């Protein structure tokens, strides 16, 4: 990928308004080649209780596409060029009102090919596709700094994006169908405030977004999502030695397709099929569409609460502590496996001189047992990842 851009920035005064303006033309060229083998991939533990003769011989003789340069699930190579022109303006008025406006126009040309002879299932594959698209992104935000310390604000935005894979690749079929670009929408309203000679600060906001957060590597597992949430923060500088902060995040993410269809594609885990002996499944895969009645994205806790504090004894020595509380959440979209709620307690100590820094951090002091999901949209019912038990980190630094 090669990108070049030029930014023109200047400031203008118009009576009671000050305008900071930027204009930026750009060009980006991307060249890619990518092959995938997700049909012959092996994903799971081997059943070590079985001998080689008892195991499915195909598991021991299976060759990945990269070993034989054949039988790819997908393979595409090509390039695309994006020509862009962006404008950003920040307009501040003497009465405390500020407006930020941004707009970006892009024109993209893409050319993609697929070597059909290298595919495992070549029937119906499209060997070549070319297309061009005009993309428009924009944002607008307004805030008002009042005389009594409050700052209400409102933001709305729409972003156009390319639906590309991990290496920036574009599948040939998507380019041929004209479905390789899409847009995401966001609006947010909030209130910020600063009091007690700026020693007490708070912020709270509510937002909604419909986001195209999928990429070309796996459309079925990365679909469009709709999110709404609340974020709140409080920071208090009690005195020159003590600082306390608190936070709360409430978030709900809905997978649009899962909500509409009652589920989404995924791999079944043992808890999804309790009527089947799981030992008959381990070492293989059962795929399907596990039910997800409410369409909620798994692995994202609805509520997270935080509380932190820092105390400085003098210019050299300081201690800190934090508490984090997280709600329980399903590991996979079916909700068959639930990750329990947990509370973490952390502490730190730092001693600094002009040249030396000594730091000790203790994490998960209560040795809480907790987990996070791994690829919840696909393998959430099969795998959970254990997080670290009580652990310590020490750091020594010397400045020359």
Lowest mean pLDDT among 108-117, 236-245, 284-293, 353-362: 284-293
Looking at residue 287, what is its pLDDT?
85
> Does the pLDDT at position 385 exceed 80?
yes
> Does the pLDDT at position 214 exceed 80?
no
Looking at residue 61, what is its pLDDT?
62
* Contacts with 137 (C-beta within 8 Å, 6 or more apart), sequence order: 102, 103, 104, 106, 157, 158, 159, 160, 183
> Does the pLDDT at position 280 exceed 70?
yes
> Does the pLDDT at position 282 exceed 80?
no
Looking at residue 221, what is its pLDDT?
45
More confident residue, 162 or 344: 344
**Entry pTM:** 0.85
What element of type H or E holds 177?
A: helix 172-177
Looking at residue 304, what is its pLDDT?
98
Mean pLDDT, rounded, of the chain: 90
Residue 47 and residue 10 in contact, taking contact as beta carbons nearer than 8 Å = no
Looking at residue 62, what is its pLDDT?
66
Mean pLDDT of 374-395: 91
> Does the pLDDT at position 262 exceed 60?
yes
How far is residue 383 from each of residues 44, 214, 332, 360, measured CA to CA in Å? 9, 21, 9, 33
Looking at residue 217, what is its pLDDT?
41
Residue-wise over 62-72: b if at least 16 C-beta within 10 A, else e? eeebeeeeebb
What's the pLDDT tens digit per position in 310-367? Answer: 999 988 999 999 999 999 999 998 889 999 999 999 999 999 999 999 999 999 999 9
- As given in the structure block, the two tokens for residue 367 are 């040795």
Mean pLDDT of 250-263: 86
Write the DSSP string, 5-19.
E--EEEEEEETTEEE
Mean pLDDT of 88-102: 97
What's the pLDDT tens digit per position in 24-66? Answer: 999 999 999 999 888 776 665 566 676 766 666 655 566 788 8
Mean pLDDT of 189-193: 97
Residue 107 and residue 162 in contact, taking contact as beta carbons nearer than 8 Å = no
The domains found in the chain, sorted by start residue, are 1-174 (no CATH), 223-399 (2.40.170.20)
Residues 149 and 192: their CA atoms lie apart, in Å, by 8
Mean pLDDT of 267-292: 84
Q: What percent of the chain has pLDDT over 90?
A: 66
How far is residue 133 from each of residues 32, 81, 114, 215, 319, measured CA to CA in Å? 19, 11, 21, 17, 55
pLDDT category of residue 157 using cuts at 50, 70 and 90: very high
Q: How many CB atoms lie within 10 A of CB 108?
A: 21
Q: How many CB atoms lie within 10 A of CB 49?
A: 9
pLDDT category of residue 67 using cuts at 50, 70 and 90: confident
Mean pLDDT of 223-251: 94
Residues 153 and 136: their CA atoms lie apart, in Å, by 24
Q: What percent of the chain has pLDDT over 70?
A: 91
Looking at residue 83, what is its pLDDT?
98
- In terms of DSSP bridges, do strands 181-195 and 200-211 run parallel, antiparallel, or are they unpaired? antiparallel
What's the pLDDT tens digit per position in 101-150? Answer: 999 999 999 999 999 999 999 999 999 999 999 999 999 999 999 998 89
What element of type H or E holds 175?
A: helix 172-177
């Amino acid at each position: 990928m090669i990108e070049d851009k030029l930014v023109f920035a200047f400031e203008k005064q118009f009576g009671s308004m000050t305008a900071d303006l930027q204009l930026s033309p750009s060009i980006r060229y991307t060249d890619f080649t990518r092959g995938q083998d997700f049909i012959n991939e092996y994903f799971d533990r081997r059943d070590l209780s079985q001998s080689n003769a008892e195991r499915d011989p195909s598991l021991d003789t299976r060759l990945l596409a990269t070993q034989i340069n054949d039988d790819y699930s997908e393979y595409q190579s090509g390039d695309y060029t994006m020509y862009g022109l962006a404008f950003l303006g920040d307009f501040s008025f003497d009465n405390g009102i500020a407006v930020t406006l941004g707009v970006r126009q892009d024109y993209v040309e893409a050319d993609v090919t697929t070597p059909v002879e290298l595919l495992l299932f070549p029937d119906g594959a499209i060997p070549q596709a070319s297309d061009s698209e005009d993309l428009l992104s924009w944002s607008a935000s307004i805030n008002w700094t009042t005389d009594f310390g409050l700052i209400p604000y409102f933001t709305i935005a729409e972003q156009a994006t390319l639906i590309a894979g991990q290496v920036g690749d574009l599948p040939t079929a998507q380019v041929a169908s004209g479905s390789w670009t899409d847009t995401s929408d966001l609006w947010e309203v909030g209130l910020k405030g600063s009091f007690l000679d700026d020693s007490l600060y708070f912020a709270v906001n509510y937002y909604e977004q419909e986001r195209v957060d999928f990429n070309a590597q796996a459309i079925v597992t990365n679909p469009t999502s709709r999110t709404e949430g609340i974020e709140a923060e409080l920071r208090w500088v009690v005195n020159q030695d003590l600082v306390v902060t608190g936070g709360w995040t409430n978030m709900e993410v809905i997978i649009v397709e899962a909500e509409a269809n009652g589920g989404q594609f995924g791999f079944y885990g043992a808890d999804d099929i309790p009527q089947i002996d799981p030992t008959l499944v381990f070492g293989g895969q059962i795929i399907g569409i596990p039910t997800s009645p409410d369409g909620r994205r798994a692995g994202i806790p609805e509520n997270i609460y935080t509380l932190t504090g820092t105390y400085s004894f003098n210019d050299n020595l300081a201690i800190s502590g934090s508490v984090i509380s997280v709600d329980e959440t399903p590991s996979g979209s079916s909700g068959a496996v639930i990750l329990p709620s947990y509370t973490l307690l952390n502490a730190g100590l730092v001693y600094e001189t002009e040249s030396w820094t000594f730091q000790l951090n203790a994490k998960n002091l209560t040795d809480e047992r907790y987990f996070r999901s791994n690829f919840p949209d696909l393998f959430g019912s099969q795998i959970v990842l254990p997080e670290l038990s009580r652990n310590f980190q020490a750091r020594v630094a010397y400045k020359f």
